[in-house]
Amino acid sequence: MAPAEILSGKTVSAQVRERLKNQVADLKESVPGFRPGLAILQVGDRDDSNLYISMKLKAAAEIGINANHIKLPNTASEAEVLRCINALNEDPAIHGFIVQLPLDSNKPINTEKITNAVAPEKDVDGLSSINAGKLSRGDLGDCFIPCTPKGCMELIRQTGIQVAGKRAVVIGRSKIVGAPMHDLLLWNHATVTTCHSKTASLAEEVSKADILVVAAGKAEMVKGEWIKPGAVVIDCGINHIPDSTKASGKRVVGDVAYAAAKERASYITPVPGGVGPMTVAMLMQSTVESAQRFVEKYQPGKWHIQYNKLSPKIPVPSDIEVSRSCVPKPIGQLAREIGLLSDEVELYGQSKAKILLSTLERLKAQPDGKYVVVTGITPTPLGEGKSTTTVGLVQALGAHLGRNAFACVRQPSQGPTFGIKGGAAGGGYSQVVPMEEFNLHLTGDIHAITAANNLVAATIDARIFHEATQSDQALYSRLVPSINGTRKFSDIQIRRLQRLHINKMDPDALTADEIKKFVRLDIDPESITWARVLDTSDRFLRKITIGQSPTEKGLSRSAQFDIAVASEIMAILALTDSLEDMRRRLARIVVASSREGIPVTTEDLGVSGAVTVLMKDAIKPNLMQTLEGDPVFIHAGPFANIAHGNSSVLADKMALKLVGKEGFVVTEAGFGADIGMEKFFDIKCRYSGLQPHVTVLVATVRALKMHGGGSTVTAGVPLPKEYTEENLQLLSKGCCNLSKQIQNARIFGVPVVVAVNTFKSDTEAELQLVMRLAKEAGAFDAVKCTHWADGGKGAVALAEAVQRASQAPSNFRFLYDVELPILEKIRIIARKIYGADDVELLPEAEQKVILYTKQGFGNLPICMAKTHLSLSHDPERKGVPMGFILPIRDIRASVGAGFLYPLVGTMSTMPGLPTRPCFYDIDVDPVTGEVTGLF
């Protein structure tokens, strides 16, 4: 018979690579920005492994696969290797992942444990027990096949011989070649015999084979005369035998005596150049197949998220009953669904987690999603439902319209929670759950702020005390002590010396004058602006006297406590964009002035580094979920009057990356559009660099009636009839406030969608009137919403309007240039946003304008501290007040946060408890541990 036809692995593998190259090109065209990813994990530095890896990397590059070579030292432990594998398992950019064997470590590593740690869906080497099990059961379409057997099958197919019904013999039973080859032939309907070292009459078995695959690892073990005439012979062996004709003194042969076998077989693979090149080609093929499966299943950029289906009840139960009717999915599951890696998530139980800032670095190349801010008309005691609308809108975008959608909201203070307002998790069927976790301690961020704030406060008074009771030399000796005979400045002290232009590093080299300048801050007690804080409403701490103990030697002074969320540190947390930036901002906090009028900072006090340490965990955004299973970031909760009233920049930036280009991030601004929204645009967006796409303005028929002149509402007393019966005249009059707030939003160049939050007492005529007048005032659209009663389903029309508005032309701009004089910036806000005729600076405010301009703070943005209950400074003036002068009582500086806040009238920063606080109803069930009576 004619000699066997040569099955050239080089030729076939080249054809496979060309096919894969075209498939990758098609993938990239169908999914812009997508690229199949392969990771190769190596432990140690074996020469043979380096050679094999270089071949794989070269093949990947030719095909268009993004290949990463991760190399661990030979000192790597099993735990370190497993950590690396876990990270690669979770990386969505990696579709194929192999561990290069053998593992070259000087520490004991269980190879089986390592190969089984690779996620089966990424195990393109097909070595995990799960893939092996699926292959043995015949699930060929749902597993990865080891590359060498897969290459062998491809070569057999090249012959055109029908495998089904043929007798096949496999010599060798290794997990990498022999055993999977047996299964592969079996499930391609061959009759398979596996031979091994214990097989009797091997020659006889081989002689029966129509298809022979040899992977024994013994040079030329199978003799030519054993081969059945016309058989297909696949030789997987690579062996070296002596050969004096070769420069190396040896040559490579297979497991089959090639020359003799070639004369009997119909097809045969050479060694080298047969199976070897196919192994690499099949690795590439499996990687491309994995990438194709990923695209089909997950659509890059689209979350594979499991939503909770609501079954709303009528009437709607209490918020806590609704919250408890839903079983939230484990927060770790939600984190995985939205693309977070396990080492980016710090779990706080099953319902909340902190997300590491490293997430932002990983996603920095990811395009941002659409940015939506929710604001409202001027607030009334009746409530407008901004938080509820924020949550309902995200539920509609996500669970009902299939968009990636993220809510970003503020963390509530426990003062109002136990006082009069209640929680801030939304309400009805549009809330963050579990709501008791949301409204209470969460992950302790506010407690961290309280500790950090009060450390600064304690430092101020301690420094005044020590400077008042010690000489310069005594202070110096204690500030720069001798330890084991050596004195050394700390880093923060060196920076103070540099600010004082004292360029000396040796503590013993300072002159007496330099020592005095270094140790004396000379704080003017009357200039101290830093208050202690507590996250409890306590009216009797609004003004206190400190230093009453005899040990303080008469250094008493008047002071005060603020609610914790009024701390400048909270405002800094909300505006910072990194740990480094937070450290700088905390160092810039001005707490007082010296008697010469020089600003005194936390850096001067030497406490800024310690404050940063207390805040290092608080800077990480907190992840929770809505009732329907959408992600929510709860991070920071600054006051909306003396601060900017918005959740954190970091949470928004992270969410925008996670949702991707087609997704939506919905954040809420505190109070009405004249306060929270204006500060969102002019302060938050100025520092974050983010540009919003849509403003959602929330209004209710009831609140607009109050702005039209409706009766005063008293808590616990039934509503006057004008709020529960149709009154189009009163409503039409009150819509002036809605029109003004639409105008305020449009000043910033962003489309406005009005959400009319519907109550059961609203009539269709009233709702239609509000929507018509909103559109006439310039709103992009106005829609009615029932998300409180219906969940996301009740906000679908709103979500669709927001989607349309996000595609509309936008020309975002700030209201003012920060380089304008302080007074001019205040005047622009007062006239354009509040509708004032002008502003009036009272004497104290005039002095502050001069002082802050002199101190170099004149170019900071303005954060107006004004009542939220009116566009004017008078909370009793509803609607759109006209003809008023805005009085500026004082101006204060939050230099670390980065704004000046003018005080318009009297502004309380410590709430008091009402006659009947919310805590009367709050308790815990000692049997179940559940909180009761919380809203």
User: Which sequence positions are flagged as catalytic?
Assistant: 56
Q: Which residues contact 436 (CB under 8 A, 6 or more apart)?
A: 320, 323, 931, 934
Q: Which amino acid is at 61?
A: A
Cis peptide before 367 (omega within 30 of 0): no
Tally: H helices and E strands in the chain: 34, 37
Q: Which amino acid is at 267?
A: Y
**430 φ/ψ angles, rounded to the nearest 5 degrees:** -135, 80
Q: Which helix (H) or strand (E) holds 544?
A: strand 544-546
Q: Which residues contact 499 (CB under 8 A, 6 or more apart)?
A: 604
- Alpha-carbon dihedral 834, 840, 842, 848, rounded to 10 degrees: 70
Q: What is the rounded CA–CA span in Å between residue 394 and residue 434?
A: 17
Q: How large is the greatest C-alpha to C-alpha distance in the chain, in angstroms?
A: 116
Q: Where are the alpha helices (DSSP H) in 500-648?
A: 512-519, 568-575, 579-588, 602-605, 608-615
Which of 13, 6, 2, 12 has the alpha carbon at shortest distance from 232? Answer: 6
E strands of 111-204, at which residues? 167-171, 191-195
Q: How does 529-547 read in b/e, with b if 16+ C-beta sit within 10 Å?
A: ebbbbbbbbeeebeeeeeb
Q: What is the rounded CA–CA span in Å between residue 256 and residue 268?
A: 10
Q: Is 175 exposed, middle or buried (0-12, 13-18, 19+ CB in 10 A)?
A: middle
Which of 214, 143, 138 has the alpha carbon at shortest distance from 183? Answer: 138
Give the angle 753-814-589 at the CA atoms, nearest 5°. 115
Q: Which amino acid is at 602?
A: T
Cis peptide before 315 (omega within 30 of 0): yes
End-to-end CA separation in angstroms for the chain: 91
Q: What is the rounded CA–CA span in Å between residue 216 and residue 202?
A: 12
DSSP 482-523: EETTEE---HHHHHHHHHTT-----GGG--HHHHHHHH---B
E strands of 808-926, at which residues? 838-841, 885-888, 890-894, 899-903, 923-924
CB 762 within 8 A of CB 728: no
CB 719 within 8 A of CB 762: no
Q: What is the rounded CA–CA span in Å between residue 23 and residue 20?
A: 5
Q: What is the rounded CA–CA span in Å between residue 45 and residue 49?
A: 7
Coil, strand, or helix at residue 408? strand
**722 φ/ψ angles, rounded to the nearest 5 degrees:** -65, -20
Which of 400, 375, 385 has the alpha carbon at shortest distance from 431? Answer: 385
Determine how β-strand 370-376 pairs with β-strand 781-785: unpaired
Q: What is the rounded CA–CA span in Å between residue 527 and residue 893?
A: 12
Give the angle 715-720-726 at the CA atoms, nearest 5°. 130
Tokens representing 153 are 């099958």
